[in-house]
């Protein structure tokens, strides 16, 4: 029985992969939810284990679709969940089962981090996965957070080299799916700033912070989308959520953790 003296925390569910070293994936999402004052749940879609013997490449094992369905059944039965984040799905079979559950439960706020390519996947399989994600999950999203590469694919563009290009991409992606978009330039756009473009059909806003180094930090994308999810769960608007998430990730990159792998991990605990 809940103690009625305290208001219950907002809830959010991440449907994501495990990245064993904890930099990215569900581990980063749950730390972000906790840091944002949101009670986090996770349904695991796959297990990623970097291979230190092979240049830290990704070893990827999908979770059985029935086990994904079981996790989601438990979660949606246990709580009224109206805020969901989608991270790495990884295979067409995973996408099918997740899309089916989402169509059944119809969460009001669905943040899609469209993780398109996982190193270590066959290019052919990745193409199937990209197409399945675009067809079956993107239309359900209310907020989407593509990185540079994903923006090229979702907007159907050959290059994105300037903030103007990123604005075009954000507009095009919004037009194709109707969701609010935060298109991330990250370290991929030249210049001193890490620039992201928000567009929701009405407001276009360029979010910019000085770059902290020129190397992408593990978990930054996951944490950005998770922070947006947490802010939406707390009742913020999509634009407010994007602004708060950008601040959160910038602080987390400043406080990053070095490791024996060739990439640092962001720290959500500042
Ligand atoms: O950052 C993308 C990402 C998302 N989810 C999982 C990952 C990665 C990258 O390694 O392993 C599980």
User: 262: CA distance to ligand 1 center in Å?
Assistant: 15
The preferred substitution site among 87, 129, 217, 261 for testing ligand 1, maximizing ligand atoms within 8 Å of CB, is: 87
User: 26: CA distance to ligand 1 center in Å?
Assistant: 9
Q: Do residues 160 and 152 make contact, with C-beta atoms less than 8 angstroms apart?
A: yes
Determine if ligand 1 sits within 6 Å of the CB of residue 189.
no
Q: Give the residue whose CA is nearest to atom 4 of ligand 1.
A: 25
Q: Give the residue whose CA is nearest to atom 11 of ligand 1.
A: 19
Which residue segments constitute the domains of the chain, with CATH numbers given?
11-254 (3.40.1190.20)
Q: Of ligand 1's atoms, which has the minimum distance to the CA of residue 219?
A: 1
Q: What is the DSSP letter of 140?
A: G
Q: Do residues 15 and 81 make contact, with C-beta atoms less than 8 angstroms apart?
A: no
For 34-58, how does the pLDDT look when each residue is reduced to its tens digit (9 = 90+)?
999 999 999 999 999 999 999 999 9
∠98-226-184 over CA atoms, to 5°? 100
> What's the rounded Cα separation, in Å, for the pair 209 and 143?
21
What does the mean pLDDT of the chain come to? 94
Residue 9, SS3? coil
Q: Of ligand 1's atoms, which has the minimum distance to the CA of residue 218?
A: 1
Determine if ligand 1 sits within 6 Å of the CB of residue 101.
no
Number of Cβ within 10 Å of residue 192's Cβ equals 8
Percent of the chain, pLDDT > 70?
Answer: 96
Determine if ligand 1 sits within 6 Å of the CB of residue 185.
no
What is the torsional sign of CA 185, 191, 192, 198?
negative
For 127-149, how does the pLDDT look when each residue is reduced to its tens digit (9 = 90+)?
889 899 999 999 999 999 999 99
User: 75: CA distance to ligand 1 center in Å?
Assistant: 22
For 49-100, how does the pLDDT look when each residue is reduced to its tens digit (9 = 90+)?
999 999 999 999 999 999 999 999 999 999 999 999 999 999 999 999 999 9
Determine if ligand 1 sits within 6 Å of the CB of residue 19.
yes
Task: Please list the alpha-helical segments (H only) found in 41-91.
Answer: 65-78
Determine if ligand 1 sits within 6 Å of the CB of residue 24.
yes
Query: Is residue 179 left, alpha or beta, with left meaning phi > 0 and alpha meaning psi from -120 to 50?
Result: beta
For 165-206, how does the pLDDT look when each residue is reduced to its tens digit (9 = 90+)?
999 999 999 999 999 999 999 889 999 999 999 999 999 999
User: 265: CA distance to ligand 1 center in Å?
Assistant: 12
Q: Do residues 65 and 93 make contact, with C-beta atoms less than 8 angstroms apart?
A: yes
Determine if ligand 1 sits within 6 Å of the CB of residue 87.
yes
Residue 13 pLDDT grade (very low, low, confident, very high; cuts 50, 70, 90): very high
């Amino acid at each position: 029985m809940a103690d009625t003296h305290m208001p219950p925390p907002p809830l959010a569910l991440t449907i994501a992969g495990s990245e064993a070293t904890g930099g990215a994936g569900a581990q980063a999402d749950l730390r972000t939810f906790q840091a944002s004052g949101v009670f986090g749940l996770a349904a695991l879609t796959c297990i990623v284990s970097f291979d230190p013997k092979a240049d830290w490449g990704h070893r990827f094992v999908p979770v059985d679709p029935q086990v994904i369905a079981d996790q989601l059944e438990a979660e949606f039965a246990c709580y009224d969940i109206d805020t969901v984040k989608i991270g790495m799905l990884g295979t067409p079979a995973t996408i099918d089962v997740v899309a089916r559950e989402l169509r059944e439960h119809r969460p009001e706020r669905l943040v899609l981090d469209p993780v398109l390519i996982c190193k270590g996947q066959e290019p052919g399989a990745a193409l199937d996965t990209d197409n399945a994600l675009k067809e079956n999950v993107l239309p359900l999203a209310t907020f989407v957070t593509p990185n540079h590469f994903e923006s090229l694919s979702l907007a159907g563009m050959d290059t994105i080299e300037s903030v103007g290009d990123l604005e075009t991409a954000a507009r095009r992606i919004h037009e194709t799916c109707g969701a609010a978009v935060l298109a991330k330039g990250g370290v991929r756009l030249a210049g001193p700033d890490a620039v992201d473009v928000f567009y929701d059909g009405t407001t276009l806003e360029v979010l910019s912070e000085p770059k902290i180094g020129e190397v992408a930090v593990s978990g930054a994308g996951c944490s950005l989308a998770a922070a947006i999810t947490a802010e939406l769960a707390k009742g913020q608007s999509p634009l407010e959520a994007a602004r708060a998430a950008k601040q959160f990730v910038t602080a987390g990159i400043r406080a990053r953790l070095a490791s024996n792998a060739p990439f640092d991990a962001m720290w959500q605990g500042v």
